[in-house]
Structure 1
Amino acid sequence: MTETTTHPAGPAEEAAPTIRPVLHYTAKDTWLNDPNGLVRHQGIYHLFYQNNPFDNVWGNMSWGHATSTDLLHWTEHPVAIACDEEEDIFSGSIVVDHGNTSGFGTVDDPALVAVYTSAFKDVSVHQGTQAQSLAFSTDAGMTWNKYAGNPVLGRGSAHFRDPKVFRYGGPGGSCWVMVAVEAQHQQVVLYRSANLKDWEYLSTFGPANAIGGEWECPDLFPLPVDGDPDNVKWVLVVNLNPGAVAGGSGGQYFVGDFDGVQFTADPDSLVPADAGGTTDLNRCLWLDWGRDYYAAVSFSNAPENRRIMIGWMNNWDYANSLPTSPWRSAMSLAREVELATVDGLPRLVQRPVLPLDRGEPAIQNMELCDTVVQLPDAMPGSAQLIEAEILPGTARTVAFRLLGASDGSAATILSFDAVTSRLTLDRRNSGDTAFHEKFASTESAPVKLDGGVLRLRVIVDQCSVEVFAQGGGVVLSDLVFPLPGNLGADVCVQGGTAIVRKLVVSALS
């Protein structure tokens, strides 16, 4: 079986408008979008994804495939589940069928079972509809067979898709639970099954909160609050396009309870519409306040009940126009998610999965007043990690200039405004922004200081910036396309005095 390993761009690609990211997965020379079928099996993480095997724009939807042992370095494999004359293979999930409930494997050697959306074409007897189908693998995910009895669940709907399946155990026994969407109705629909083949309707959730576009790619999982196994809440993730807080695509979530039949959101997770029917998007719960984190879902079968998510690092507003070649689109870094008490309420915190090595502090306990301090440049062939603890003090703004030109003419700006308590990522002058009218943008999120301290973890990877603030309680992710040679970085304090308690810059590869 032919395999290709993703690497930083070689000499032949350096003349391209952008350099391939180092730690963010990209397909070698094709298009990708939503992550699908995330599963860990026999010590290997499997990333399946929406893929056009024949081009670097959306189309011919099939499941691409990559594997990793560390969630940072990925090996690309041939297409796993291919489209054919009757169906495109839309999003879905994979479970390890412990117990062999489906009969596709054995109890001692369980099959991997993919539950995916069949988007039926005109030649199919199911034309014009979307329904859920199965494929199975008995060789640890390397080859797949479609189930002869497909589809296994339909509603006669043209927009019923994106099944996420998990094993649920309750007082009434164990079963498989599916969360899927009626996309254009802004509804999550839940079903259960004993064998992954026969499904029974359970309940519906939604519409709620952000409903300005189609709901897609749901996920539902339990997490202990503050690590307390006696205080478990459920998190329902619902991705949305368009209508996200930063515009276009994005992911929202709800915290609540699930009893095996119905998900009930906590009242503090719900944002009522005003008298005019408008919902304040700034009050909704967002996975990411940036423009480029969508279709995020979590791994099945992760070790030690860890909850690890990956999203598509793109936005449907401009996805097919990104100035990259021959590849187009990347995945986000993997993020471990937990529930923590924030202002008395359970909220998600996200921490990127990163290499363990760190650099030495570039700054320690330095007082800055209307000052610019140069930081190490980003390096070709490496990602850059900036970790900072800053007391803004009397300063109005603390700003980082990333992937900047040596003459100061261009950069991506990450800034914290102490007056408004907002963190802003500004890519309007980041380099190549003219390829699409909606790309040049500024994103911001509310950030509450912790004991007067701003804590940042920023990953700059060739053509992207991911910002994790306050321990991952607030996240901002944006694509950027700096011009060749724009690698400079600095930190600037304006309008008063701030103390940089610690600042570490590391090169990651």
Structure 2
Amino acid sequence: MCLAGVMIHKGIYHLFYQYNPKGVVWGNIVWAHSTSEDLINWISHEPAIFPSQKSDINGCWSGSATILPGDKPAILYTGIDPDKKQVQNLAFPRNLSDPYLKEWEKFPNNPLMAPNSKNGINASSFRDPSTAWQGPDKAWRVVIGSKNNDLGLAILYRSEDFITWSEAKRPLHSGKRTGMWECPDFYPVAVDNFTGLDTSTLGEKVKHVLKVSLDNYKHDYYTIGHYNYKTDKYVPDKGSIEGDKGLKYDYGKFYASKTFFDSAKNRRVLWGWINESSSVEDDVKKGWSGIQAIPRIVWLDKSGKQLMQWPVAELETLRDTKVNLENKSLDAGSFHEVTGITAAQADIDISFEITDINKAEVLHSKGKHAQKLCNEKNASGAKGGLGPFGLKVLATDDSKEFTAVSSLNNNNDKTTYGAFVNVDPVSEKISLRSLIDHSIVASFGGGGKSCITARVYPTLAVEDKAHLYVFNNGSEAVKIVSLNAWSMKDAQIN
């Protein structure tokens, strides 16, 4: 269940996603379709797009939605033809008066774009068209993810009418030694406010983001830079890093993401696919695999060097029972249990102050990933002068099982995730918001500067057996400035 396309049309949010109606593993891919009025509660519909033409007879893979003039949605998507070649196709709603746009019809002359072997593009590496944008010349642009050997590519196409497309002489951007670029996403961000921008927005106070899902690493990476619409070239800012050492949307389980401009609330919303950490055999037993992350708003940090992310405000409508804690000292080696909420399904927002920065160890991190460091330092049991401190969630009362262990099932991927957060621990509070949902822990550090989503499968800490703790493993006390935690109600999914 990974993303195919997202959009808002006449006040209704549409989520299209890759789905196998015949099983829980990859295959028989169609575009499933759900709609919502609030991004939280959803109605499922029949698949919007499924194999029916020669150009997609072997599968309807990912793509994007674009709102054309006249408020007319269009979908560009990758189809797999009889020769297993990846080509790009077009579909429109059959009935624009239907608020749910349940039926879609394909352009009869599909495909519109096919891989150019003269450019060294392999027919199996040409997929996932982005949302299109329009330049001042009124021509449409779209990028297709690809590669040439190990050179990652965002291949650019242009069209005057959204039907006849021609490949540009040069890609929008490329990256050496990055491999296949899946699900490219290219969009503008404002440099001086939180407001989201329509995908075609240009201007002096606008930067652009290019996100690619790197097939080699199974993570979503992005750079921030400038787009020259006259040359149709994107240039990352100085200091932006391409590839595995660059910025990620999420440092845990989060892939094949897509953003869209929410014109109803002037915000850019990010969706991501959370894949499993369990074995295929366990996925088959439970009858499903892969879920969508909580939608997030994204905006440019005031530094201009990274994006910020935060769960959409609508999520707060699910908050129920609340507990609060303020100005509590957490002594060295101690913990505090948070009671009064459903710890297996909760929203926790906590901030800390440190008492003595001089007790912090110097971390020699040059050239190392945060995840590697967290594994080396044994984040679940490490003890230092200042910390580790934070939340222990989905834990049993005897700590036989808790999130850093993930599960007692050794067939699961039990990676310890980690990320660096750029904060000043002396003048700023250290904040963390975590969303707990039975098998998922999604955390936002530093007000949304770094995000980690993990899949955990507790066997003991389930339902009312799950506990929530604030802990301090360090030899120096820390202060809980504030803790707000809520039980979360179920969303309505028909």
TM range (shorter): 0.7 to 0.9
Partner of 2:305: 346
Partner of 1:49: 17
Alignment check: 8 A CA contact 1:94 1:300 kept: no
The alpha carbon displacement at 1:138 in A equals: 3.4
User: Are positions 1:221 and 2:182 aligned together?
Assistant: no
User: Are positions 1:293 and 2:254 aligned together?
Assistant: yes
Aligned mate of 1:331, from 289, 292, 295: 292
Listed one character per residue, the Cα deviations across residues 231-265 of structure 1 (whole Å, up to 9, x for unaligned) are 2100011011232xxxxx11000111122311111
The alpha carbon displacement at 1:147 in A equals: 1.1
User: Are positions 1:266 and 2:249 aligned together?
Assistant: no
Aligned mate of 1:467, from 431, 443, 447: 443
AA partner of residue 131 (structure 2)? V
Q: 1:493 to 1:58 in 2, by over 3 A?
A: same
Secondary structure at 1:504 match in 2 = strand
Q: 1:315 to 1:189 in 2, by over 3 A?
A: farther
The alpha carbon displacement at 1:215 in A equals: 1.6
The alpha carbon displacement at 1:216 in A equals: 0.3
User: Are positions 1:492 and 2:471 aligned together?
Assistant: yes
User: Are positions 1:165 and 2:131 aligned together?
Assistant: yes
Aligned mate of 1:91, from 48, 51, 62: 62
CA distance in 2, matches of 1:92, 1:200: 18
Alignment check: 8 A CA contact 2:145 2:180 kept: no
Secondary structure at 1:251 match in 2 = strand
After the TM superposition, which of the residue ranges 148-157 and 135-144 deviates more from structure 2?
135-144
Q: 1:215 to 1:432 in 2, by over 3 A?
A: farther
Listed one character per residue, the Cα deviations across residues 372-428 of structure 1 (whole Å, up to 9, x for unaligned) are 100137638x7311101101334322131110112210001xxxxxxxxxxxxx3xx
Partner of 2:483: 503
User: Are positions 1:372 and 2:339 aligned together?
Assistant: no
Partner of 2:213: 239
CA distance in 2, matches of 1:194, 1:304: 29
Alignment check: 8 A CA contact 2:259 2:270 kept: yes
AA partner of residue 481 (structure 2)? R
Unmatched segments (≥5 aa) in structure 2: 117-122, 195-202, 357-385, 490-494
CA distance in 2, matches of 1:321, 1:207: 38
CA distance in 1, matches of 2:446, 2:284: 32
Alignment check: 8 A CA contact 1:57 1:320 kept: no
CA distance in 1, matches of 2:326, 2:284: 39
TM-score of the aligned structures, taking structure 2 as reference length:
0.80
Alignment check: 8 A CA contact 2:154 2:171 kept: yes
Q: What does 1:414-493 align with in structure 2 at a 5 Å threshold?
A: 426=404, 429-436=405-412, 439-450=413-424, 451-484=427-460, 485=462, 486-493=465-472
CA distance in 2, matches of 1:364, 1:338: 30
Q: 1:320 to 1:146 in 2, by over 3 A?
A: farther
Secondary structure at 1:154 match in 2 = coil
Secondary structure at 1:307 match in 2 = strand
RMSD between aligned alpha carbons? 2.4
The alpha carbon displacement at 1:319 in A equals: 6.8
Q: What percentage of residue pairs aligned between the two structures are identical? A: 27
Alignment check: 8 A CA contact 1:95 1:301 kept: no
Q: What does 1:5-404 align with in structure 2 at a 5 Å threshold?
A: 32=1, 34-84=2-52, 86-99=57-70, 110-120=71-81, 124=82, 127-139=83-95, 140=99, 141-156=101-116, 157-170=123-136, 173-183=137-147, 185-202=151-168, 203-208=170-175, 211=178, 213-227=179-193, 230-243=204-217, 249-260=218-229, 261-270=232-241, 281-282=244-245, 284-290=246-252, 292-300=253-261, 302-314=263-275, 322=283, 325-342=286-303, 345-353=304-312, 354-356=315-317, 357=319, 360-370=322-332, 371-376=334-339, 379=342, 383-394=345-356, 395-404=386-395
AA partner of residue 252 (structure 1)? Y
> If each structure's strand is expressed as a fraction of its own residues, which one has the higher value?
1
Secondary structure at 1:204 match in 2 = coil
Alignment check: 8 A CA contact 2:94 2:105 kept: no
Aligned length: 424
Alignment check: 8 A CA contact 1:161 1:183 kept: no
Alignment check: 8 A CA contact 1:309 1:337 kept: yes
AA partner of residue 269 (structure 2)? I
